[in-house]
Amino acid sequence: MTKSDLLDYTENRINGIPEGKRIKRWGRDKNDVFWAIGKVHGLENIAFLSDEQLEEINGDPVKLQEALNKVEPKGRGNSSYEEYFNKTLKSLDAYKQEVNKHNFAGSDRKKMLAMPFALAKRRQLPEPKKGQDEWNLFEEYTGKSWDHYDGLLFDSEAKITEFEYEKFIPPQILKTMDTDSEEFKTYVKLKQIKSKTEFE
């Protein structure tokens, strides 16, 4: 059972992890860095935590996640994409200047400079958990919970193919097409690629 599974299982039984108890660390969790941040969602919001909060967390990933969940973004939003883009460039330039002030080895410097992009990727891709705002937002917009398709082994919804195109193209339009031509076959392939099933 992973840490996330354990927390989901116990969230309705106890309020967090009992004092003095810790989750066993197995596999990749034995690595201190992976244990501390490897499964944390919204890690980029660590920038909003104070030094005192970080000292109190003391590397505990559960406490870190709880603190990040309570973070509320500060400052006004961007009025346009151009403003957002320019502010991002300025922030990256300031970050680069700060990194250059330190005497990092070449490989460490590259890792530090790549960190903002790694954090941005984590912000876009993590899988939400029940109780998080992202989980509720997904359900609100799609009408289905995030785990609605868990356990689905085969997508039963059909898509157009060169063997079953009659089911997807109205007969009156199909009469005007040369179904043996390469152009038609290319049309079917493009339509298949661009169309999405409910699961996709």
The pLDDT of residue 42 is 77
Question: Alpha carbon 47 to chain centroid distance?
Answer: 18
In degrees, rounded to 5, the angle at the alpha carbon of residue 75 between the alpha carbons of residues 72 and 78 is 110
182: which residues sit within 8 A by CB, 6+ positions away?
none
R_g of the chain, CA atoms, integer Å: 25
* Long-range CB contacts (within 8 A, 24+) of 151-157: 152/199, 155/197, 155/199, 155/200, 157/197, 157/198, 157/199
pLDDT in single tens digits along all 200 residues of the chain:
455 555 555 554 445 555 665 666 677 777 776 666 677 777 778 888 888 888 888 877 788 888 888 887 666 666 777 888 888 888 889 989 999 998 888 888 888 888 888 777 655 545 777 777 878 888 888 888 878 777 777 777 788 888 888 888 888 888 888 888 888 888 888 888 888 777 76
